[in-house]
Amino acid sequence: MNNVEIRILHELDEMEAVRQLEIEVWNANPEHALSSHLLFVIAKNGGIIMGAWKDQCLIGFVMGFIAKRQQEYYIYSHIAGVKTEWQGYGIGEKLKQAQRQWALQNGYALICWTFDPLQRMNASFNIHKLRAIVQSYHVNLYGDMPDGLNHGLATDRFTAEWYLKDPRILNRPMLQLPLTKYNALVHYDNNTLYTSTEPLDGERCTLQIPYDTRFMKMIDMQLVQAWQNALREAFQLAFNSRYRVVDFVTDHDAQTCWYVLSQIEQ
């Protein structure tokens, strides 16, 4: 996208613009949005907040801060959003790649963040495009969140791990359709949700999610809740059995999409 400027944000008025965009994107109660003063403190004390600007208007942002896991320091990318009318134009990828470049320049080799496993576009972006992996599932991580995107469901989340230097992860092969040769732990067919009772075995397995969870929530919230419960159980079993998410495959013609999990090498 031409004429979109990505830059690091420093000033308090820029933080207020981030706050207002968060409220807009998430359809959130202002009381639940990050305060501009907190964002300002993060920016001034080692965090990294980047904005995408078009004609002096903030159309996207990403915010992260330094975190530590065992002996490794990394960037935790807490929140990112793009103005609704600008989604689908590559703004999110520009922001993430700018964040990646900043992390590498400042000595970090890993960026982590959480996302909802039920959201197809996030899964495709994080796993298939950016080539992050997932090997942990958190049940109702943030508790009840009444905003427009999360209302009605437990806030189950994946942790995406984006290894910025590891060639074994960055250069892993992406899979192609069909995926029928792999054991489907969760799949949906003929208006019925199926869960596998087969023992976990083999190099790979798959789990289907709704093609459009937001639309499904409007017509059948009970089905979405059942799907979340099935995924929760299956992913926890798979991760405990030393599998991890390595790809996300979408068939737009059939309006189906699948997580692909692979056994972790010993």
- Per-position DSSP letters for 160-202, written without gaps between them: EEEESS-HHHHTPPPP-S--TTSEEEEEEETTEEEE--SPP-S
Q: Which two tokens stand for residue 128?
A: 């298939």
Query: What phi-psi label fits residue 255: left (phi over 0), alpha (psi between -120 and 50 degrees) or beta?
Result: left
* Whether 230 and 120 share a structural domain: no
Model confidence pLDDT, tens digit, residues 247-263: 999 999 999 999 999 99
CA 162 to chain centre: 11
- Residue 130, phi then psi, degrees to nearest 5: -80, -20
pLDDT at res. 65 = 96
Among residues 72, 71, 67, the alpha carbon closest in space to that of 48 is found at 67
| Confidence category of residue 197, pLDDT binned at 50, 70, 90 | confident
Work out how many domains the chain is built from and give that number.
2
pLDDT of res. 146: 65
Instruction: Answer yes or no: do 163 and 250 share one domain.
Output: no
Task: Give the structural domain span for 197.
Answer: 183-263
Q: Both 132 and 220 in a single domain?
A: no
- pLDDT score of 3: 87
Asked if residue 159 and residue 205 are part of one domain, the reply reads no
**How does pLDDT run across 111-148, given as a tens digit for each residue?**
999 999 999 999 999 999 999 999 999 999 998 876 65
pLDDT at 1: 59
The answer to whether position 175 is within a domain reads no
Q: What is the mean pLDDT of residues 43-63?
A: 95
H helical segments located in the chain: 12-26, 36-44, 91-105, 120-123, 167-170, 213-219, 221-240
Pick the closest to residue 171 from 131, 135, 205 (CA basis): 131
Is there a single domain that holds both residue 151 and residue 212?
no
Query: Reduced to 3 DSSP states, what percent helix, strand and coil does the chain have, rounded to the nearest 5?
Result: 30, 35, 35
The single-letter code of the amino acid at 30 is: P
Residue 159: pLDDT band (50, 70, 90) is very high
- Looking at the structure, tell me whether residues 162 and 199 fall in a common domain: no
What is the spatial distance between Cα 210 and Cα 188, in angstroms, rounded to a whole number? 8
Q: What is the largest CA-CA distance in the chain?
A: 56
132: how many CB neighbours lie within 10 A of its CB? 23
Tokens of 207: 């789990």
Give the CATH number for residue 147.
Answer: 3.40.630.30
What amino acid is encoded at 83 in this protein? K
Q: Same domain for 105 and 221?
A: no
Tell me the per-residue pLDDT of 81-119, one tens digit each, with 9 for 90 and over: 999 999 989 999 999 999 999 999 999 999 999 999 999
Pairing of strands 243-251, 72-82: unpaired
Model confidence band, residue 243 (pLDDT cutoffs 50, 70, 90)? very high
Would you say 6 and 52 are in contact if contact means Cβ atoms under 8 Å apart?
A: yes
Give the residue from 170, 193, 222 where a domain finishes.
170
Sign of CA dihedral 152, 158, 159, 164: negative
Shared-domain flag, residues 231 and 125: no
Choosing from 170, 195, 230, the residue where a domain stops is 170
Which of 170, 198, 229 is where one domain is finished? 170
Measured CA to CA, the distance from residue 124 to residue 117 in angstroms comes to 10
Residues 229/95, Cβ–Cβ less than 8 Å: no
Question: Do 158 and 202 sit in the same domain of this protein?
Answer: no
